[in-house]
């Protein structure tokens, strides 16, 4: 390997029929997520349906974002083009009968069984994902000896990697106490190190398979100069989970999130030129547009937590003070009651012993008035205050919980791909959200009225401020 040339590595994750097309597979992606990789944003084509499977013509697949990226990188190198060598590492979910797979199948259903159509690459992209024709097709991983050095054609070296777990670099990820991905990367990146290493990751399940792969790369091969994940060429079961995974990769793993498909091709050592179709193949929903969304979300949550703590501290302090006051006044009440009772008894004895000296009604009057005043001033008022504070604390907590639920509902509805691209159903979705908000408001009012009946009117606290 020429030390002056960079090492380019393109890792594809789970580009398999079961996830793209097989509706009988419980792990298949939503249609909009699958279309994001396979159908160009400007295309009018779409998925058809036949016998429980999505169908998409080969031309649409090859002209889609994933197909164009593979053509600009792998396709351009089949004739020897591009700078340096590109290692194409295709990681496939690959299951053979075993106790481990039985447990996984019971939870997630049948998927990506070795040698089946579902475990293979999309037919229209086989020529780019397997230009050397060396991928195992049937009979499991034992059909051909695994070679970590791969097979070369032009300036691209193709590696087919199997994994039966979420953790592709785990030592038993490929069975028989081996990780094929670990062996491939170990052969590409020798212990002596090659600092100009550029790794790009594309594929499915951004928040699971892609994120765990990026974590493993950072842990085991942290010396790579540049690790990039493509926003346009990754997808998950929901937009929010996809964006959250990219946010984690950028902030925690220090992985660059790249939106442009042509930029990714240049990173991998090929120049696509002025390919407008490739330039426009980037996803319509860009992670960069949502960087502020996650910051705002964190500010809202932090503000809500801080305000909640402030309310709790204030209320707990006042409750403690009231409890101490009630305890003190109860003790005082007992002492006063005992003294009053003693005084009444003494007055009664004196009145009986010396008639006419002390009116007979005086002891009873003293005892009655003292008890009424003590009960009113020292017991009834603190008890009412305690009830009011308990009611206020309950309403504060209910208000914060209700607000969290309303935010969660709004975030769910307003960050789905459909909501971000208004269509004929946008009005119906907005009405559904409004109805759900109204139901929550009615529940809040009913709870507040119930609390008011227990201890008198309790005004709800002001809503915490939102930045």
Span 1-15, pLDDT tens digits: 555 678 899 999 999
Nearest to 202 by CA among 263, 141, 146: 263
pLDDT (0 to 100) of residue 61: 94
Q: Positive or negative CA dihedral for 265, 267, 269, 275?
A: positive
More confident residue, 448 or 165: 165
End-to-end CA distance of the chain: 54
What's the mean pLDDT in 87-110?
88
Mapped onto helix, strand or coil, the DSSP state of residue 233 is: strand
Using 50, 70 and 90 to split pLDDT, how confident is the model at 108? confident
pLDDT (0 to 100) of residue 442: 83
Kindly report the average pLDDT of the chain as a whole number: 78
Percent of the chain with pLDDT over 90: 30
What's the mean pLDDT in 57-78?
93
Alpha-carbon span 239 to 44, nearest angstrom: 22
Please state the length of the chain: 467
Nearest to 266 by CA among 226, 321, 325, 322: 226
Highest mean pLDDT among 88-97, 329-338, 438-447: 88-97
pLDDT (0 to 100) of residue 453: 66
Query: Cβ contacts of residue 163 below 8 Å, gap of 6+?
Result: 91, 92, 93, 94, 173, 174, 179, 180, 181
Are 208 and 166 contacting, i.e. CB atoms less than 8 angstroms apart?
Answer: yes
Span 386-438, pLDDT tens digits: 667 666 667 766 776 677 667 777 766 666 555 655 666 677 778 887 888 88
Using alpha carbons only, how large is the chain's radius of gyration in Å?
35
Using 50, 70 and 90 to split pLDDT, how confident is the model at 141? very low
Using 50, 70 and 90 to split pLDDT, how confident is the model at 142? very low
pLDDT (0 to 100) of residue 312: 62
Span 360-371, pLDDT tens digits: 666 666 666 555
CATH 3.40.50.300, domain 7-285, yes or no: no
Alpha-carbon span 233 to 89, nearest angstrom: 15
Is the pLDDT assigned to residue 111 strictly greater than 50?
yes
CA distances for 107 relative to 102, 424, 455, angstroms? 9, 36, 50
pLDDT (0 to 100) of residue 463: 45
Alpha-carbon span 149 to 243, nearest angstrom: 34
Query: Which residue stretches of 155-198 are H helix?
Result: 180-188
* Token pair in block for residue 263: 């930029």
More confident residue, 66 or 197: 66
Domain limits of the chain?
7-285, 295-455
What's the mean pLDDT in 257-283?
81
Query: Cβ contacts of residue 204 below 8 Å, gap of 6+?
Result: 13, 14, 15, 16, 19, 20, 29, 37, 210, 234, 235, 236
* Token pair in block for residue 308: 């909640």
* Strand-pair partners of 199: 9, 227
What's the mean pLDDT in 194-201?
82
CA distances for 331 relative to 324, 366, 374, angstroms? 11, 20, 11
Is the pLDDT assigned to residue 185 strictly greater than 80?
yes
pLDDT (0 to 100) of residue 381: 63
Span 201-218, pLDDT tens digits: 999 999 999 999 999 998
Burial 63-91 (b: 16+ CB within 10 A, else e): bbbbbbbbbbbbbbbbeeebebbbbbbbb
Alpha-carbon span 306 to 295, nearest angstrom: 16
What's the mean pLDDT in 220-229?
82
pLDDT (0 to 100) of residue 47: 94
Half-sphere exposure of 375 (CA within 13 A, CB side): 7
Q: How many CB atoms lie within 10 A of CB 241?
A: 15
What's the mean pLDDT in 71-87?
88
Using 50, 70 and 90 to split pLDDT, how confident is the model at 58? very high
pLDDT (0 to 100) of residue 454: 58
Is the pLDDT assigned to residue 139 strictly greater than 50?
no
Span 449-467, pLDDT tens digits: 776 665 555 554 444 444 4
pLDDT (0 to 100) of residue 467: 41
Nearest to 38 by CA among 391, 281, 393: 281
Nearest to 434 by CA among 410, 418, 407: 410
Alpha-carbon span 146 to 142, nearest angstrom: 8
Strand segments (E) across 252-339: 256-258
Mapped onto helix, strand or coil, the DSSP state of residue 221 is: coil
pLDDT (0 to 100) of residue 197: 86
Q: What dihedral angle (degrees, nearest 10) is formed by the CA atoms of 278, 280, 284, 286?
A: 70
Query: Which residue stretches of 125-190 are H helix?
Result: 126-129, 180-188
CA distances for 437 relative to 78, 240, 406, 408, 409, angstroms? 57, 21, 7, 11, 8
What's the mean pLDDT in 244-267?
90
Using 50, 70 and 90 to split pLDDT, how confident is the model at 62? very high
């Amino acid at each position: 390997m020429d030390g002056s040339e960079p090492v380019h590595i393109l890792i594809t994750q789970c580009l398999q029929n079961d996830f793209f097309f097989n509706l009988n597979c419980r792990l298949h992606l939503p249609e909009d997520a699958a279309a994001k990789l396979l159908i160009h944003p400007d295309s009018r084509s779409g998925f058809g349906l036949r016998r429980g499977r999505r169908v998409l013509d080969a031309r649409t697949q090859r002209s889609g974002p994933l197909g164009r990226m593979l053509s600009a990188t792998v396709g351009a190198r089949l004739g020897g083009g591009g700078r340096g060598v590109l290692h194409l590492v295709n990681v496939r979910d690959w299951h053979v009968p075993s106790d481990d797979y039985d447990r996984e199948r019971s939870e997630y259903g049948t998927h990506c069984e070795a040698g089946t159509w579902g475990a293979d690459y999309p037919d229209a992209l086989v020529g780019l994902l397997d230009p050397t024709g060396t991928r195992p097709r049937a009979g499991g991983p034992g059909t051909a000896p695994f070679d970590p050095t791969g097979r070369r054609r032009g300036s691209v070296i193709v590696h087919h990697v199997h994994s039966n777990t979420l953790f592709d670099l785990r030592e038993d990820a490929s069975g028989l106490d081996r990780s094929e991905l670990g062996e491939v990367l170990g052969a590409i990146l020798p212990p002596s190190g090659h600092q100009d290493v550029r790794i790009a990751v594309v594929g499915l399940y951004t928040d699971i398979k892609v994120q765990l792969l990026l974590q493993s790369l950072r842990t085991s091969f942290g010396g790579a100069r540049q690790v990039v994940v493509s926003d346009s060429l990754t997808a998950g079961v929901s937009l929010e989970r996809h964006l959250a995974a990219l946010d984690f990769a950028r902030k925690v793993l220090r992985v660059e999130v790249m939106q442009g498909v042509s930029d990714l091709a240049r990173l991998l050592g090929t120049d696509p030129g002025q390919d407008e179709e490739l330039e426009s193949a980037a996803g319509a929903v860009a992670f960069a547009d949502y960087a502020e969304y996650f910051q705002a979300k964190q500010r809202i949550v932090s503000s809500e937590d801080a305000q909640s703590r402030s309310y709790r501290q204030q209320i707990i302090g006042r409750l403690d003070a009231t409890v101490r006051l009630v305890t003190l006044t109860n003790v005082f009440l007992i002492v006063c009651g005992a003294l009053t009772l003693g005084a009444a008894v003494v007055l009664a004895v004196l009145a009986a012993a010396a008639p006419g000296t002390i009116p007979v009604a005086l002891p009873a009057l003293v005892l009655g008035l003292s008890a009424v005043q003590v009960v009113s001033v020292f017991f009834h008022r603190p008890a009412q205050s305690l009830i009011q504070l308990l009611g206020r604390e309950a309403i504060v907590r209910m208000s914060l919980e209700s607000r969290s639920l309303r935010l969660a509902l709004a975030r769910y509805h307003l960050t789905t791909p459909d909501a971000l691209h208004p269509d004929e159903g946008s009005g119906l979705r907005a009405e559904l959200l409004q109805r759900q908000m109204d139901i929550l408001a009615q529940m809040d009012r009913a709870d507040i009225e119930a609390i008011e009946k227990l201890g008198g009117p309790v005004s709800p606290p002001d809503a915490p401020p939102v930045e």
